[in-house]
Structure formats: C-alpha cells, structure tokens
Amino acid sequence: MSSSPRSLSQAGLALREWRLRQWATAGAGALLTALAVGTPTDVVPNPFFSRSVPVQWWNYPALAGTAALAGLVLATYVRAPSALAAPNPSGPRRLGWLGGFLSFMAVGCPVCNKAVLLLLGTSGALSYWAPLQPMVAIASVVLLAEAALRRLSIQSACPTSDSTSGR
C-alpha cells in the first residue's frame, strides 16, 4: 500500500464493493445537496427565493458536480450492516464541508449575498465577486473530489468485515 492518502485504484475498488445501501445514500445525498444549494440560490427554480442576477450557464454543471460528489462523500460514512461494530475510517471532513460552502457561494446571486454586499457593495459584487464565482465553483468541485477520493481510498485500504468475509 502506498503512503498517499488517496488512490484512484483504491477508490475504484471501494466503489465496486459498495452495496445498495451506500448507492441509495449517495443518490439521496446528491438530491438533498442539489436542493440545499440550489433552492436558496434559485438555481433550482422555486417560489421562495429569487435572484437579482440571472442564473449563469455554468451554475448548472457546478451544482450537478457538487451534488454528485457530496452524495459520494456522504455515502462513505455508511457502514455495511455486518460491520456496525467496526470503526468507520476517519477522513477529510473539512474538505467536504468547505467544498459545499464554496459551491453555495459560487452559484449564488452575486448581489444577493449579504456578506459580499457588505464587503464590496453592489458594484464591487458585480465587478469583482461575479467574475471570481466560476473559479470558486471549480475550487469547490476540486475540494469535494479530493474529499471523495480520500474517503474512498481509506475505505478500500481499511475494508470492513463485510467486504473481507467473501460476500
């Protein structure tokens, strides 16, 4: 085993060993993340929130990537039923939360964000923050991908008793 905390081959192995329970959690987590990030930012149209600046084309793939990766990260916390007594591998919890937060900041309306408005004003939000948002979206997806890769690599390197029992 390598000393790196992440490995594509280990992550792939972990995904191949997942059961229905983990995949269902990943799907539900992705849907909930899409709603939690997309609803208040009005990327997902709804009657409760609105935005002053139209949704940009890149908001949709950023939200989709965030949702999919957040679902995968969430599912790495699900244990196999026969491994409930086994310790769950610890991993990069901060990366996932930071990635989700940055995604929320990235896809949100630049002049609807109170913190940005207080710091930069309306013209600053449009002149300085709005052009940075696509880069913040990329950073959020990269952080979530790194979190997923590390969590999956750890899961594969430290198999639960369910995956070592031959089932």
Inter-residue long-range contacts of 50-54, CB under 8 Å, 24+ positions, other chains counted: 51/108, 51/109, 51/112, 52/109, 52/111, 52/112, 53/109, 53/110, 53/111, 53/112, 53/126, 53/130
Average pLDDT along the chain: 84
pLDDT above 80 for 4: no
Scanning the structure block, which residue is given the tokens 């999919």?
Answer: 68
Q: CB–CB of 70/3 below 8 Å?
A: no
pLDDT above 60 for 164: no
For residue 146, the tally of other CB atoms under 10 A from its CB is 18
How big is the chain, counted in residues?
167
Note the pLDDT tens digit of each residue in 22-78. Answer: 999 999 999 999 999 999 999 999 999 999 899 999 999 999 999 999 999 999 988
How far is 53 from 146, CA to CA, in rounded Å?
31
Whether the CA torsion 126, 132, 138, 143 is positive or negative: it is negative
Predicted local distance difference test score (pLDDT) of residue 2: 47
pLDDT above 60 for 133: yes
